[in-house]
Amino acid sequence: MGTEKESPQDLPRPAKAPGGSSAKKTTPKQGKKTSGTPNKNISRDPDSRKTGTKQSGSSGKPQGKKKPAAQGTRQGGGSGKPQSKTAVAKPNKKRPEIKKAQRKKVNRYVRIIGRIAFMIQALISLIMVISIARTKMLPWKYVLLIMAGLGVLLLITLIMNLRRNRRVRLVGTGISVVVIALTFVFTTYFNRTMGVIAGNSKALKTDNMIVVVRADDPAQVLVDAKDYTYAVHLPAGASGGSSAMIVDIEDALSSKIKVEEYSSDIEAAKALMEGKVNAAIYNKAYTEVIAEALDNDDYENQVRVLHQYGIETDIEKETVDVGKPFNVLISGIDVYGDISQTSRSDVNIIVTVNPKTKKVLLTSTPRDYYVKIPEISGDSRDKLTHAGIYGVDASMRTLEELYGIDITYFVRVNFDTLIKLVDAMDGLDVYVEYPFDAYTDEYHFDKGWHDMFGDQVLAFCRERYSFADGDNQRGRNQEQVLKALIEKLLSPAILPHYADILDSLDGFFQLNMSQEKIAELVNMQLTDNAHWEILKQAAEQGDSALEATYSGGSTPLYVMWPDYASVYVNAARIETILKEGYTD
């Protein structure tokens, strides 16, 4: 600020160099300056251009032929000495040898990596073939095809690795890496599938025995209830259950407890609510039964679990010969969480499978059927759903006696199983026969096809109050969902969701079918590649009434007398499917 800018005209001009030009002449950095003044009368002849030299013009006489000047040099005109000199780069004789050594080194690394990849490829291919062959799940024609394919790939990569051409060896190594990746993925998922099946093939039941106090009771842990009086029902001749729970409590407290016996678990819970005792002992599976008997929907919130003890009991396993027909019970229990815990069985579907005719018959039975529970209730009757409280084996025996059939296997699922499986399958296409609003969840269903996800399918399967046909319509809806599940599981559309399905099933279903039997069925299906015909039927509703039940004691509960006419018809159809195509 305050100063004027100098214009280009005002700037001092640079001093002129000799010869009248202001431009500076650059000389080679390594050249030497010659003495004397430059000779302006230097003439160039054509020969000098070829030799890269200049001739001096001081004498005007032709000069003798001179040696060509080194590249980048000049010869002076007056003195005969070069005006400048540039260093000449001599050819490096060692460079080709270095490059050759580097190429050999790279080739050696490529060869080593190729051999390592080939060995890994051979090892993982062998592991894959052994894993598949051991399970006997795939037919031998598929096993042989896999072996042949892996063998050809091994031969190709071996030949390519033995070639001298580096590019060929690199391609061979690339093929090995791709085969290793694909084989590893296949083997991982195959072994994981077998692991999920083996991990859930548990023929056992868990009775979750609990000690409850009233919600406002001051006791927070079991030791606080050391001097309490415990209400308990001890069935005659029964071992385990409440008896085992008493032993567990006394072991935990290191002292005896005061026990008051009642005629049923409902009476024990009633005594607790009336303040006659301080605590009650019963199977957690009875909670809903107690709430129904006491006509108290909020019962579960009015008590608090103080102590819990799980009693595991093995279930006897059965099996059938290869290729023979069999029955499977699909038992759906009305709880979330641990799949092995005993609970009411709201879904009771018998699946009759005939491997020869490729027919599957689904038979559903109303949950409130008033039936006897063999080995449990004696001559007393109870609801079919209550049989699940005593284990899935009790449900199997009850349905065997009702239909006069043998049920060999069971598959046990709960709310979590259905939700997770359907979501993992990216939903199900289910047909709704009648429009309705779900009572258990806030969903409305119109008549027609619906693309349903987990929560919607669960609401659809549980609803019965919205239908005039009640439990019968619920059974038909459950069969509709089961049919959609089977059809989608047998379709190629399931492949993109395979990993998610494995995750959804792991720990959320239970079955007593051996891994060998499952492998046999899969092998048979892959061999035949046959289409299965899925048929459905249901036992009809009988007369409803309020009756005393084995589980509920003298308190009358809502029950449904079996419609024996439809039971006999269904039993006859089951026998027809079982015997169809068999002579013995």
Q: What is the pLDDT of residue 83?
A: 52
Is the separation of the CB atoms in 437 and 443 below 8 Å? Answer: yes
Strand, helix or coil at 265?
Answer: helix
Question: Considering its fold, how many domains does the chain have in total?
Answer: 3
Judge if 331 and 451 occupy the same domain.
Answer: yes
Judge if 116 and 150 occupy the same domain.
Answer: yes
Judge if 240 and 263 occupy the same domain.
Answer: yes
Furthest CA-CA distance within the chain: 147
What is the full DSSP assignment across 287-315?
A: HHHHHHHTT-TTHHHHEEEEEEEEEEEE-
List the domain range (segments joined by +) for residue 186: 95-200
Rama region for 241: left / alpha / beta (φ>0; ψ in -120 to 50; rest): left
Strand, helix or coil at 409?
Answer: strand
Cα end-to-end distance, the chain, whole Å: 118
Tell me which of 200, 217, 243 is where a domain ends: 200
How confident is the prediction along the chain (584 residues), in pLDDT tens digits per residue?
Answer: 444 444 444 444 444 444 444 444 444 444 444 444 444 444 444 444 444 444 444 444 444 444 444 444 444 444 455 555 555 555 555 667 777 777 777 778 888 898 899 999 999 999 999 988 888 888 888 899 999 999 999 999 999 888 888 888 889 999 999 999 999 988 888 888 888 877 777 777 888 899 999 999 999 999 999 999 999 988 765 556 788 899 999 999 999 999 999 988 899 999 999 999 999 999 998 898 899 888 898 999 999 999 998 888 888 878 888 788 999 999 988 777 777 778 888 889 999 999 999 999 999 999 999 999 998 888 999 999 999 999 899 999 999 999 999 999 999 888 888 898 999 999 999 999 989 988 777 789 999 999 999 899 999 988 888 888 888 888 889 888 988 888 888 777 787 887 788 887 777 788 888 878 888 888 888 888 788 898 999 999 899 999 999 988 888 899 999 999 999 999 999 999 999 887 65
Measure the CA–CA gap between 200 and 214, rounded to whole angstroms.
36
Count of residues for the chain?
584
**Residue 445 forms part of a structural domain:** yes
Judge if 353 and 371 occupy the same domain.
Answer: yes
**Residue 2 forms part of a structural domain:** no
**Residue 531 forms part of a structural domain:** yes
**Looking at residue 303, which CATH number applies to its domain?**
3.40.190.10
pTM: 0.72
Is the separation of the CB atoms in 538 and 314 below 8 Å? Answer: no
For tokens 């008549």, what's the residue?
Answer: 447
Judge if 371 and 399 occupy the same domain.
Answer: yes
Judge if 336 and 310 occupy the same domain.
Answer: no
Secondary element (H or E) of residue 108:
helix 95-135
Least Cα distance to 333 among 394, 243, 270 occurs for 394
